Amino acid sequence: MTKLTFLGTADAFNSAGRGNSCYLVEDDAGMYTVDFGPTALLQCERLGVDLRALDGIYITHLHGDHIGGIAMLLVFLHFKLERTRPLVIAGPEGMELRLALLRESAYPSVLQRGLGFPIEFVHWKLPGTVEALDRKVTAIRAEHDQLAVAASLRVDTEELSICFSGDTGWQPALADLVRDSDIFVCECSMASADYWGHLSVEELLVQRDQLKVGQLYLSHMSEEARAAAHNRVTELKAIIADDGLVITHER
């Protein structure tokens, strides 16, 4: 069985009081999150997630709303949970430096003394497939800020294929990546298509038939996008995700 919890479904600006986009997945191989933004730890605590079970994080890209909570997570695991087993952080090239800068700014003395557990890094192949936490993860370069090194991800296990767009504008390669997957969590930041680096309700209405997936979920939404998506939800053939939504999938 696979359980997917939406820890956050807002865009970068916590629209309408929602958390930064972040997803928690529990399956036969264990527990991981996709990204870990500033509100992720808060949401884990609110929902009673036991982070002792957390094996690692899959990072879609190096923007604050997706990695900003990692410094707090590391000190939480170290001080509160007294973690000793390794934490795997899988993500794009360059993440070590960016995460070190984040930790250096947030908790320099903890960085100096060191954590009670090792961090093991795994790098995406863009494009390509790597093994991370006993799952096959296929990544493509997303249409987003170049310096964020953004990826769209497909996670395959024997039980399930689950995809995460990360932050991205439309590209045909996204439809290829998600084809025949069971679950696709797709960003939909905007109501209308006026920015190349994010998806919108307007574009998804045009491209919807290209997305051959079991169930489409929309997330990473502004208030305007959420309202527009609700108005067109039948044509979008999508579930509009909200913070705290939990779905389970059994094959």
Pick the stretch among 7-15, 113-121, 154-162, 226-234 that binds Zn ion (CB under 5 A): 7-15
Pick the stretch among 111-119, 120-128, 133-141, 161-169 that binds Zn ion (CB under 5 A): 161-169
> How near is the Cβ of 139 to Zn ion at its closest, in Å?
17
> How near is the Cβ of 187 to Zn ion at its closest, in Å?
7
Single residue of 26, 27, 143, 167 touching Zn ion by CB under 5 A: 167
Lay out the site mask for Zn ion across 88-127 (x = CB under 5 A, - = otherwise): ----------------------------------------
Using CB under 5 A as the binding rule, whether residue 35 contacts Zn ion is answered as: no
Single residue of 26, 27, 35, 65 touching Zn ion by CB under 5 A: 65
Query: Distance (Å, rounded) from C-alpha 203 to C-alpha 117?
Result: 44
> How near is the Cβ of 247 to Zn ion at its closest, in Å?
21
Nearer to Zn ion (CB atom), residue 12 or residue 211: 12
Pick the stretch among 63-71, 110-118, 172-180, 242-250 that binds Zn ion (CB under 5 A): 63-71
Pick the stretch among 5-13, 112-120, 168-176, 177-185 that binds Zn ion (CB under 5 A): 5-13
> How near is the Cβ of 250 to Zn ion at its closest, in Å?
30
Query: Distance (Å, rounded) from C-alpha 206 to C-alpha 151?
Result: 22
Query: What is the binding site for Zn ion (CB under 5 A)?
Result: 12, 65, 167
